[in-house]
């Protein structure tokens, strides 16, 4: 099977939602193959279906000070942050062509990022009862997905050169006993963003056993 990889750059959250909805419709209709959107967002907090308001540590009046937007979404999970320096991946996969198993899909997404982190000498791992990828007690990558007629949307957020101060305004993923980290923090220096994107794309294709094709309209 083949997979389109689209590198979209810095995309406002609302525009990314539109892009996902367009690709989901096309995937359900069989007009496109499996697709992975890789991008960054301007500063934004998103609330999943299980989000608790007490995990937001700011009031609407603080948003101007923070310089971020807030969106409620249909993905799973609690509240998280997206911003520049973070690789956001939105896989649009038809799981009927892979495996109709949500748990398998989530573990596979985690495996993609565990392997990508390993490419930089970082030993990342899963933590029982918490979706995502961790290094010690700190979350390196968050996850939240939506599945409709076995076609996936939303996905993962991998902290590369992320400004971690923005997580101080929330309880990330509702996990009060865990912190957050980034590839840059773990390595002690910034990491070439496009290089990490390519590693994530390669590991994604590897884990899901897909042949990568870059459509002519993608960067």
Partners of residue 2 on adjacent β-strands: 211
Note whether residue 31 is domain-resident: yes
Structural domain count, the chain:
1
pLDDT of residue 219: 45
Catalytic residue among 117, 173, 200, 207: 173
Q: Which domain holds residue 129?
A: 2-213
pLDDT of residue 174: 86
3 given a catalytic annotation: no
Note whether residue 83 is domain-resident: yes
Strands 138-148 and 179-180: parallel
pLDDT of residue 53: 84
Note whether residue 206 is domain-resident: yes
Note whether residue 219 is domain-resident: no
Express each pLDDT in 99-156 by its tens digit.
999 999 999 999 999 999 999 999 999 999 899 999 999 999 999 999 999 999 999 9
Q: For the chain, give the mean pLDDT.
A: 94
Question: Which pTM value belongs to this model?
Answer: 0.94
CA–CA dist 187, 155 (Å, integer): 25
Express each pLDDT in 136-147 by its tens digit.
999 999 999 999
Task: Name the residue with higher pLDDT: 24 or 217.
Answer: 24
CATH number for position 156: 3.30.930.10
Which of 82, 43, 41, 84 lies closest to 193 in space, CA to CA? 84
Note whether residue 218 is domain-resident: no
Note whether residue 6 is domain-resident: yes
CA angle 207–157–120, rounded 5-degree value: 60
Helix axes 102-118, 193-208, angle to 10 degrees: 140
């Amino acid at each position: 099977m083949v997979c389109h990889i689209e590198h979209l750059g810095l995309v406002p959250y609302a525009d990314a939602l539109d892009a996902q909805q367009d690709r989901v419709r096309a995937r359900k209709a069989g007009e496109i193959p499996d697709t992975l959107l890789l991008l960054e967002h301007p500063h934004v907090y998103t609330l999943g279906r299980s989000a608790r308001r007490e995990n937001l540590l700011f009031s609407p009046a603080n948003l101007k000070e923070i310089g971020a937007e807030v969106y409620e979404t249909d993905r799973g999970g609690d509240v998280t942050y997206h911003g520049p320096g973070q690789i956001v991946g939105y896989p649009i996969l038809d799981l009927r062509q892979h495996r109709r198993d949500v748990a398998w899909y989530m573990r596979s997404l985690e495996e993609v990022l565990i392997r990508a982190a390993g490419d930089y000498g970082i030993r990342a791992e899963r933590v029982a009862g918490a979706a995502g990828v961790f290094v010690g007690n700190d979350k390196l990558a968050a996850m939240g997905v939506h599945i409709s007629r076995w076609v996936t949307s939303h996905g993962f957020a991998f902290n590369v050169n992320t400004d971690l101060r923005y997580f101080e305004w929330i309880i990330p993923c509702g996990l009060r006993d865990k912190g957050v980290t980034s590839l840059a923090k773990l390595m002690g220096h910034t990491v070439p963003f496009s290089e990490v994107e390519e590693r994530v794309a390669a590991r994604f294709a590897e884990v899901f056993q897909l042949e990568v094709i870059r459509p002519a309209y993608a960067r």
